[in-house]
Amino acid sequence: LQPDNNGGPFGSGFIKREIKVDLKINHEGEVRRARYMPQNSQIIATKTSLPDVLIFNIGTHRTSTAHTTECNPILRLKGYATEIYGLSWNPNTEGDLLRAGINLDPLSTCKGDGKVVEVVAWHCEKEEIFGSVGDDQPLMIWDTRTNNIFEPGLTVNAHTDNVNCIAFNPFLEYTLLTGSADKTLALWDLRNLSVKLATFESHKHAISRAEWLPQCKTIFASSNPNEQLCILDFSQGQIYQQQTPINAEDGPPELLYIYDRHAAKISDFSWNPNKPFVICFVSDDKKAQVWQIGIFYLYYRNNSEKYFFCFHRLNEHIDNDDISMEAMSGDRGEIAPPPPTANAAANGS
């Protein structure tokens, strides 16, 4: 989204660019999940409706001159369940891959109460910690260092319906999100799972995925199968912000942006790790879209100069690889105000 010609908050724009296919890899069946290894982007793990997880090396396929229709992964990891698609590479230990199913399969097998585990996720800082959620509503936290790998270290009934996603905060080591078929997102503190930090009710349908914005510790995106993607901010000033009746019609104060223009189910999405507020999502109509959320829209939506200058300052450092995490903290009051405009200077303000 871009501002209109007058610099106002409304407007949009599409850049027509030809997308060139750089490499095609033959695959067995539909690709339901694809995740690259954080330590080596040439290695990709994929999941289909079949039980196995396939591991591909992009470099091997790129240098191969053989034209074939065969699927040739470098590894085939034997699985259990079919219609379960959770995959998670360990961001701290190269080569560790979690796959969700009836059982969990890291270096050894961890098993909860026998019900379906749909999604797994590694902790962003602690290489031995991961979480799992599934059909039976509990959130489970596991530690691979424990002597009893058949029992999770922490368990809590997270929602009133199936739990479909889990995401650890990349900046706050005790903070994580869960999303559920009960149409809510829950914010948790690992030090006290007896109570939720916050509950978000921006979605009207079951939530299928959530992911933190890589450049900010308080902003995340979530999606549901009914063509809807939301961007939210859990900072204290947003959650407890008082709204006028007119603003309340646009949703709760923590809702920064909502996208509902897909004509089909949103299958998956991902934030760009290098360009703030750039997001790509794919849908069941075989389309992929890349969007950059405009700072002017967010400024208008929240009626907050702090947001405007926060994103403005962030964008100033994009090309210099000098993005300040302090500038993107929940306390946006730390950001210095901009210089006065010409009109303000003339008025002595």
> Domain extents for the chain?
33-268+280-293
Looking from the CA of 245 toward its CB, the CA atoms found within 13 Å total: 0
- Whether 227 contacts 262, CB under 8 Å: yes
**C-alpha dihedral, 212 to 312 to 251 to 8, nearest 10°:** -150
Which pTM value belongs to this model?
0.66
* Superfamily per CATH, domain 33-268+280-293: YVTN repeat-like/Quinoprotein amine dehydrogenase (2.130.10.10)
Please give the Cα distance from 223 to 329 (Å, whole number): 24
pLDDT tens for the chain, residues 1 to 349: 444 444 444 444 555 666 677 788 888 888 878 888 888 888 888 887 777 888 888 887 776 645 677 888 888 877 655 555 667 777 777 777 766 553 444 444 445 555 566 788 889 888 888 888 887 778 989 888 877 666 788 889 999 999 999 999 999 999 999 999 999 999 999 999 999 999 998 888 899 899 999 988 999 999 987 768 888 888 855 565 666 666 666 677 788 888 776 677 888 899 998 888 888 888 888 778 888 876 544 544 444 443 433 333 334 333 333 333 233 333 333 323 333 333 333 444 3
Please report the DSSP string for 15-84 in residue order: ---PPPP------SS---EEEEETTEEEEEEEE-SSS-EEEEEHHHHHH------S---SEEE--S-SS-
Work out the angle between the directed axes of helices 295-302 and 305-316 (0-180°, nearest 10).
Answer: 160
